[in-house]
C-alpha cells in the first residue's frame, strides 16, 4: 500500500539487500532502479546465503514480481549464473522481469572497464568492479547503446552493431585487445533472447497498475550516495544515480508517488575502491571493524576500508535523499568496543567544517571525533528496541540526531530475525 525507496546512505554495502529481502516478504513489486551486476547484496534467509548482483533482493518471495528496471544495465551472462544459483535453492525465479529499456552490458564493456582501470596510476584508479558499468553507461549517454528491446529485432540490432562495433574496436585496439566480431555479438544476443525473452517486458503498465491499485512497491538501490555520479566523490564514483532522485527515472515512478525513503546506514563506515575516505582507520580499530564485520566485498572479495561513523557524510546524505527514516545496520559489530567514535566535523587546513566539501578538500579533510562509551555486551539476540542496552540506544539516538532522520529499523545480525522494527 505504499512505495518505499531503499537507498544506500554511505559508500555502499550498508545492508540494502537484507532490508529489501525483509520488506519483500510483504511486497508485491520490487524494482532495481539503477546500476548493474556491480552490486553485491547479501541475503541470508531460509533458502540459504546469497550474494545477489543484479537480481532484485525480493526474489525469495515467489509472490513478489522482481523487476530489473529501465535505469539499470544488464549482463545476461552473469544474470543467468545468478538465476541458476537462485533456482538451485528450490525457487523458480519465474517472478523475475527485465524492462525493455535496460541497456545491455556487452563483452566489450567489461574488457574496456578492466583495460581503462589498468592504464590509470594508483592515485586515479577508481577500483571499479570491472563489470563494464562505466563503459555501458557512457554508451547510453552517447546514444549508441544496445537495449534489451533490441534483441527482439535482429535487423535493427545488426544495423546498430555495424555503427558501433568499428568504434569499439578502435578503442579495444588502443588497449591491445583483439577486435570484436559482429556475428559473434549477434549470436550472443540471440542466445540471450532464447534464455530471457519471456522475461523482458515493457514495465510501464506493470508499475503503473501496481501504484494505482495501491500495491506495496519497493525500489531497491545499488551502492550509496558517496559514489553517486553527480553527488559522490567524482571521479571515484559509479556511473548512475543511487540517490532517491535516481529512483524515479530508473523505475518510472513520479516523485509524487513515493511515500517512504529509507536510508540504509551502517553503524560505522566502509568503502571499497579508490578515492577519499576521511574516516579511514589504519589502526587496530580499523582491523577489528573489518574482521568482526567481515568487511570483504560481496562482488570482488576485496577488503573494505573501514572507519568510524561519519555524521558529516550521513547528514549530507539525508539532505540529498530526503530520508523519511533510516535503518541502522550492523550494530552488533560494535558490541565489543570499549570506546566508539563518531566523526562530527572535518578539519580542512585551519578551518573546521560540518559539511561535505568538494572532492579535492575531502582528500585532506581530517575527522574530528566525539567519543561514546561502548555497551560491551552481545546484542545479537536482542529482538526489540526496548531491549537494546541503554548505551547502544544512546549511540543510536546520537546517529539519529546528527543524521537528521528517525531510526525505523536496527539490525543486530545478518539474519531476517535479527532485524528490529522500532514502533
Ligand atoms: P548491500 O550491498 O548494501 O546489500 O550490503 P552487503 O551485502 O554488500 O554488505 C552487508 C554485509 O553485512 C553482508 O555480508 C551482510 O550479510 C552483513 N550484514 C547485514 N546486516 C548485518 C548486521 O546487522 N550484522 C552483521 N553482523 N552483519 C550484517
Ligand atoms: P552495493 O550495491 C560498494 C564502487 C567500486 C568503485 C566504484 C565504481 O553492493 O552497495 P563501478 O564498478 O560501479 O564502476 O565502480 O564504486 N562500487 C561499490 N562499492 N558496494 C557496491 O555495490 C559497489 N558498486 C560499485 O568499488 O570504487
Ligand atoms: Mg554490497
pLDDT at 58: 98
Please list every protein residue whose CB sits less than 6 Å from any atom of ligand 2. 8, 12-13, 38-41, 126-129, 131, 133-134, 222-223, 227, 236, 238, 272-274, 298
- Testing ligand 2's pocket by substitution, the residue of 9, 57, 129 carrying the most ligand atoms inside 8 A of its CB is 129
Ranges of beta strands (E only) in 148-268 are: 200-201, 217-220, 260-266
Backbone angles phi, psi at 66, to 5 degrees: -110, 110
pLDDT at 423 over 90: no
Q: How far apart are CA 277 and CA 233, in angstroms?
A: 9
Q: How far apart are CA 275 and CA 125, in angstroms?
A: 8
Query: For ligand 1, atom 10, which residue shows the shortest CA distance?
Result: 15
- Testing ligand 2's pocket by substitution, the residue of 8, 9, 12, 229 carrying the most ligand atoms inside 8 A of its CB is 12
3-state SS, residue 108: helix
Angle separating helix axes 390-403 and 311-321, nearest 10 degrees: 50
pLDDT at 300: 80
pLDDT at 100 over 90: yes
Residue 281 β-bridge partners: none
pLDDT at 101: 98
- What is the average per-residue pLDDT within 19-25? 98
| 67-to-58, 72, 157, 318, 367 alpha-carbon distances in Å | 9, 10, 24, 26, 40
pLDDT band at 348 (very low <50, low <70, confident <90, very high): very high
> Which residue is catalytic, options 13, 28, 99, 150?
13
pLDDT at 97 over 70: yes
Ranges of beta strands (E only) in 205-295 are: 217-220, 260-266, 269-271
Query: For ligand 1, atom 26, which residue shows the shortest CA distance?
Result: 413
CA-413 nearest atom, ligand 1: 24
pLDDT at 84: 97
- Of 241, 242, 109, nearest to 168 by C-alpha is 109
In this structure, what C-alpha cell is assigned to residue 52?
545477489
- Taking ligand 3, which is a single-atom ion, which protein residues have CB atoms under 5 Å away? 13, 40, 298
- What is the average per-residue pLDDT within 367-384? 98
CA-40 nearest atom, ligand 2: 9
CA-128 nearest atom, ligand 2: 15
Query: For ligand 1, atom 17, which residue shows the shortest CA distance?
Result: 414
Q: Kindly report, residue by residue over 164-201, the tens digit of the pLDDT.
A: 999 999 999 999 999 999 999 999 999 999 999 999 99
> Which residue is catalytic, options 21, 37, 41, 103?
41
pLDDT at 1 over 70: no
| CB-CB contact of 129 with 300 (8 Å) | yes
Domains of the chain in sequence order: 2-102+199-262 (3.40.440.10), 108-197 (1.10.300.10), 265-421 (3.90.170.10)
pLDDT band at 317 (very low <50, low <70, confident <90, very high): very high
Question: Does an H or E element contain 409, and which?
Answer: strand 407-411
* β-strands 260-266, 325-329 pairing: parallel
pLDDT band at 349 (very low <50, low <70, confident <90, very high): very high
pLDDT at 298 over 80: no
pLDDT > 90: percent of the chain: 97
Q: Kindly report, residue by residue over 114-153, the tens digit of the pLDDT.
A: 999 999 988 899 999 999 999 999 999 999 999 999 999 9
pLDDT > 70: percent of the chain: 100
Query: Is 41 one of the annotated active-site residues of the chain?
Result: yes
Amino acid at each position: 500500500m505504499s512505495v518505499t525507496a531503499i537507498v544506500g546512505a554511505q559508500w555502499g554495502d550498508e545492508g540494502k539487500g537484507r532490508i529489501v529481502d525483509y520488506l519483500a516478504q510483504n511486497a508485491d513489486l520490487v524494482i532495481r532502479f539503477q546500476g548493474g551486476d556491480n552490486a553485491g547484496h547479501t541475503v541470508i534467509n531460509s533458502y540459504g546465503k546469497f550474494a545477489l548482483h543484479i537480481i532484485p533482493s525480493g526474489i525469495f518471495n515467489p509472490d513478489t514480481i522482481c523487476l530489473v528496471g529501465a535505469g539499470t544495465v544488464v549482463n545476461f551472462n552473469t544474470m543467468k549464473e545468478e538465476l541458476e544459483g537462485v533456482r538451485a535453492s528450490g525457487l523458480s525465479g519465474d517472478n523475475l522481469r527485465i524492462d525493455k529499456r535496460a541497456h545491455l552490458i556487452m563483452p566489450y564493456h567489461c574488457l574496456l572497464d578492466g583495460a581503462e582501470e589498468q592504464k590509470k596510476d594508483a592515485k586515479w584508479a577508481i577500483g571499479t568492479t570491472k563489470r563494464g558499468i562505466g563503459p555501458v553507461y557512457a554508451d547510453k549517454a552517447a546514444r549508441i547503446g544496445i537495449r534489451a528491446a533490441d534483441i527482439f529485432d535482429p535487423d535493427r540490432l545488426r544495423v546498430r552493431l555495424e555503427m558501433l562495433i568499428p568504434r569499439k574496436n578502435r578503442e579495444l585496439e588502443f588497449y591491445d585487445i583483439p577486435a570484436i566480431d559482429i556475428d559473434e555479438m549477434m549470436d550472443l544476443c540471440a542466445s540471450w533472447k532464447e534464455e530471457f525473452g519471456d522475461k523482458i517486458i515493457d514495465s510501464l503498465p506493470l508499475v503503473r497498475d501496481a501504484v494505482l491499485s495501491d500495491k506495496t512497491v519497493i525500489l531497491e538501490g545499488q551502492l550509496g550516495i558517496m559514489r553517486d555520479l553527480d553527488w559522490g566523490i567524482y571521479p571515484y564514483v559509479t556511473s548512475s544515480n543511487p540517490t532517491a532522485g535516481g529512483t524515479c527515472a530508473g523505475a518510472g515512478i513520479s516523485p509524487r508517488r513515493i511515500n517512504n525513503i529509507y536510508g540504509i546506514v551502517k553503524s560505522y563506515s566502509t568503502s571499497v575502491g579508490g578515492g577519499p575516505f576521511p574516516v579511514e582507520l589504519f589502526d587496530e580499530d580499523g582491523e577489528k571493524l573489518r574482521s568482526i564485520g567481515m568487511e570483504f566485498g560481496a562482488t570482488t572479495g576485496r577488503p573494505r576500508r573501514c572507519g568510524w561513523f561519519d555524521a558529516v557524510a550521513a547528514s549530507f546524505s539525508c539532505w540529498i535523499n530526503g530520508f523519511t527514516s533510516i535503518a541502522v545496520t550492523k550494530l552488533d559489530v560494535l558490541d565489543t568496543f570499549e570506546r566508539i567514535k563518531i566523526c562530527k566535523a572535518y578539519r580542512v587546513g585551519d578551518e573546521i567544517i560540518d559539511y561535505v566539501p568538494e572532492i579535492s578538500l575531502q582528500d585532506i579533510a581530517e575527522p574530528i571525533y566525539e567519543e561514546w562509551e561502548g555497551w560491551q555486551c552481545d546484542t545479537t539476540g536482542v529482538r526489540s528496541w526496548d531491549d537494546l542496552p541503554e548505551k547502544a540506544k544512546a549511540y543510536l539516538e546520537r546517529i539519529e540526531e546528527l543524521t537528521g532522520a528517525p531510526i525505523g529499523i536496527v539490525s543486530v545480525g545478518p539474519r531476517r530475525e535479527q532485524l528490529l522494527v522500532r514502533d
